[in-house]
Amino acid sequence: MVFGRNSQCWCGSGLKYKNCHEAFDEKIAEFKRLGYKVPGHEIIKTPEQIAGTKKSAVINMACLDYVGKHIKAGITTQDIDDWVSKITKDMGGTPATLGYEGFPKSVCTSINSQVCHGIPSEEDVLEDGDIINVDCTTILDGYYADSSRMFMIGDVAPEAKKLVEDVHEAVRVGLAAVKPWKTLGDMGHAVNEFCKSKGYSVVREIGGHGVGLDFHEDPWVSYVTEPNTEMVMAPGLMFTIEPMVNMGKPDIFIDAENDWTVYTDDDSLSAQWEVQLVVTDDGYDLISW
């Protein structure tokens, strides 16, 4: 045994191990014996880490709230970048995407057939009828908050509006499947079945991720999974639900000029909402949305 039963728990609670995470560790060991993927201690968040991430999320959501109030036809995606950059810094945070693996801006803005990782630009003027995903990630005191929302510009075609609303619902369907000691595969399967029932397809190559102490931690979170597969959702596991959903085929390609922006292969519309959550003893706690 790594921890004496009377010594302090590894989670930093200050409690004795036997009164804190001992039962948790036994349960993890049992799932592991049964062949499940299980989280290591390093990705299980402590109460202190959860509180820190929530503070970071206050900034992240303030950015998205501001975008929601001011986004309209005629502005550029660079304007959105300027807003996010200023609000984040004014509130004491740092935009996580700026310089992340060479990404040049403080937020991702993905319009219409852009699936994700759109780069803000003075040349991209929002037009009546556009749908756009704004994906914001904040660092505060080393803690990462990551969430994204869709916005509709002016008069949007009914099928585009439906896609945006259905994908929001898909995230709620995913959240409803987040239950302690069930699997990420259960959650992803619920999302995929819902999207398929609406006639859409879920992007396979890009998904969600563990998050909190780093931008992208284990586990990788797919939404094209089978039930009872993938990592066990142990309490303290923090991750995103962020399905990218295409109106047409699931296939995508990456812009060869900037090596970032992902598009639908068939030019169909794509939508995505992202929430960040932590698994609790009786469900989940939303961190950022």
> Which tokens sit at 34?
């049964």
AA identity, residue 17: Y
- Residue 245: CB minimum distance to Co ion, A: 15
User: Should residue 135 be labelled a site residue for Co ion when binding is judged by CB under 5 A?
Assistant: yes
User: Considering the rule CB under 6 A, would residue 100 count as an interface residue with ligand MF3?
Assistant: yes
108 binds ligand MF3 (CB under 6 A): yes
Distance of CA 187 to the CA centre of its chain: 14
95: preceding bond cis by omega (within 30 degrees): no
What binding mask, one character per residue, do residues 222-241 give for ligand MF3 by CB under 6 A, x or -? --------------------
Sequence-separated (6 or more) residues with CB below 8 Å from residue 152:
130, 131, 160, 161, 164
Per the listing, tokens 């709620």 go with 172
CA atoms within 13 A on the CB side of 171: 28
Task: Choose, by CB under 5 A, the member of 97, 109, 240, 268 that binds Co ion.
Answer: 240
Site string for Co ion, 255-274 (x = CB under 5 A): -------------------x
Look up residue 101 and give its amino acid. E
Considering only residues 142-181, where is the footprint of Co ion by CB under 5 A?
146, 148
Residue 130: contacted member of ligand MF3, Co ion, none (CB under 5 to 8 Å, by partner type): none
CB of 48 or CB of 65, closer to ligand MF3: 65
Q: How far apart are CA 79 and CA 124, in angstroms?
A: 10
Here the tokens at position 50 are: 């959860």
Choose among ligand MF3, Co ion, none what residue 100 binds, the Cβ cut-off being 5 to 8 Å by kind: ligand MF3
138 contributes a contact to ligand MF3 by CB under 6 A: no
85: contact with Co ion by CB under 5 A: no
Partnered with residue 140 across adjacent β-strands are 143
Q: Classify strands 94-95 and 244-246 as parallel, antiparallel or unpaired.
A: unpaired
The residues of the shown chain that bind Co ion, judged by CB under 5 A, are 135, 146, 148, 240, 274
The residues of the shown chain that bind ligand MF3, judged by CB under 6 A, are 97, 100-101, 103, 108, 117, 135, 137, 146, 209, 242, 274
